[in-house]
Amino acid sequence: MPVTSIFIESERYNKKVKMSTMILTHGDCDGICAGAIALTRFPKSDVFFTRPSSFFDDLRNIDADRIIILDIALNKPDITNILEWFKRSDSEILYFDHHPLSDETRKSIEKTIDVFVHQYNVSTSELIYRYFQKDIPRERVWIAIYGAIGDYSDDTPFVKERILNWDRRALYFEVSTITLGIKNDEFSDYDSKRRIVSTLAEGRNPSDVPGLVKSAKEAVNREFELYRVIKKKAKSIGSVGYILDLPSFGFRGPSALFAATVTNKPVGISAHTREKYIDITIRTRDYSLSLNDLAERSAEFVGGSGGGHPHAAGAKIPKGSFQEFLKKFNELLGR
């Protein structure tokens, strides 16, 4: 994938008119931080959380003059409909993202929306901060750094340079407060995440959100307990360790990684059975792998969808297809 950013801006965006603004973002650390930077720039905005599987339905139900889309990968089965919606929409659309896109999709987006900022291997928080940095307080770079660290994207030249200006230990403490704090039920809902976004947009830190530090500490304790449970229950097939239907749904990433660790496999999967489908989270200890491609192809083989990042991916597959998914995943892995 290209490593240079794509910055596309239309004349319509430069017109200064009063507009209603909706921020549509992902509910993880990077999405929360990117949302906070957008809210700093457009303080009267509404904030709405979404995810790739529901993005198109959420998008077409939004009524706003300006829509800011942040950290949302495009679900492959929905891409055609999303692009058509972009073309028909009268809203001003700004889209900041870092997930892999085909050249065809990227070019189509460039032609149809007002602002498109896309760069692979860079956090969305960094992308939106760099775009709006002249219009917001300099100290909001803290939020960009939080989002980058939380998304394992803190090795970019921009972040490496900026992080030298601040106490690294304090930054990592604040990042951990977000990433761990939102795993507990108290802060996993969208209203609670909106409170975090608002706090950051006001120039305060994650640790200023009442109860969030305590929630993060509780999450750490639960992760250690989770490891002990997975050590007893994880299974493996081929090069994949996996765990099924753990009660700690908010700990999907660590669960998948622990499944790889305790089975001594390069890939770990945490799968949760929902009412109509299976929700799959995938992590790897081998950074030469491209999990997003493996997840997409394996999920499509069983009638589902998947994607994400090379080292952190996910999928949604039909109920009853998990073993077939694992078999195809191992086949594609070729080990």
123 has pLDDT over 60: yes
On whether both 257 and 178 belong to a single domain, the answer is no
Domain boundary among the residues 165, 183, 214 is at 214
CA distances from residue 99 to 117, 119, 135 in whole angstroms, order as listed: 11, 8, 26
pLDDT at site 5: 52
User: How many domains in the chain?
Assistant: 2
DSSP string, 52-114: GGGHHHHHHT---SEEEEES-PPPGGGHHHHHHHHHH--SEEEEEE-S---HHHHHHHHHHSS
Q: Average pLDDT for residues 83-112, to the nearest whole number?
A: 95
Q: pLDDT tens digit string along 33-58?
A: 999 999 999 999 999 999 998 999 99
On whether both 171 and 305 belong to a single domain, the answer is no
9 has pLDDT over 70: no
156 has pLDDT over 60: yes
pLDDT band at 309 (very low <50, low <70, confident <90, very high): confident
Beta bridge partners of 262: none
Residue 228 resides in a domain: no
CATH of the domain at 301: 3.10.310.30
Flag the least confident range among 16-20, 89-93, 212-216, 330-334. Answer: 16-20
Residue 191 resides in a domain: yes
Domain boundary among the residues 184, 214, 244 is at 214
Q: Copy the structure tokens of residue 318.
A: 């039909």
Residue 99 resides in a domain: yes
On whether both 293 and 196 belong to a single domain, the answer is no
On whether both 109 and 10 belong to a single domain, the answer is yes
On whether both 50 and 121 belong to a single domain, the answer is yes
Q: Residue 301: which domain range?
A: 234-333
pLDDT at site 2: 37
261 has pLDDT over 50: yes
On whether both 263 and 145 belong to a single domain, the answer is no
CA distances from residue 11 to 15, 32, 115, 192 in whole angstroms, order as listed: 7, 29, 10, 36
On whether both 243 and 206 belong to a single domain, the answer is no
pLDDT band at 278 (very low <50, low <70, confident <90, very high): very high
pLDDT at site 94: 98
On whether both 240 and 123 belong to a single domain, the answer is no
Residue 326 resides in a domain: yes
Residue 309 resides in a domain: yes
280 has pLDDT over 90: yes
Residue 320 resides in a domain: yes
Greater model confidence, 75 or 209: 209
Mean pLDDT computed over every residue of the chain:
92
pLDDT at site 10: 46
Q: Average pLDDT for residues 68-88, to the nearest whole number?
A: 94
Residue 47 resides in a domain: yes
Q: Average pLDDT for residues 221-237, to the nearest whole number?
A: 94
On whether both 184 and 306 belong to a single domain, the answer is no
On whether both 197 and 277 belong to a single domain, the answer is no
Q: Pairing state of beta strands 92-97 and 115-118?
A: parallel
165 has pLDDT over 50: yes
Smallest CA-to-CA distance from 251 within 199, 182, 154 is with 182
pLDDT at site 13: 47
- Between CA 75 and CA 300 the distance in angstroms is 12
Q: Average pLDDT for residues 314-320, to the nearest whole number?
A: 94
On whether both 134 and 51 belong to a single domain, the answer is yes
On whether both 155 and 43 belong to a single domain, the answer is yes
297 has pLDDT over 50: yes
Domain boundary among the residues 214, 245, 279 is at 214
Share of the chain above pLDDT 70, in %: 93
Residue 227 resides in a domain: no
CATH of the domain at 55: 3.40.50.2300
Query: 168-175: long-range contacts (C-beta < 8 A, 24 or more apart)?
Result: 171/142, 171/145, 171/146, 173/207, 174/142, 174/146, 174/205, 174/206, 174/207, 175/29, 175/145, 175/146, 175/149, 175/150, 175/206
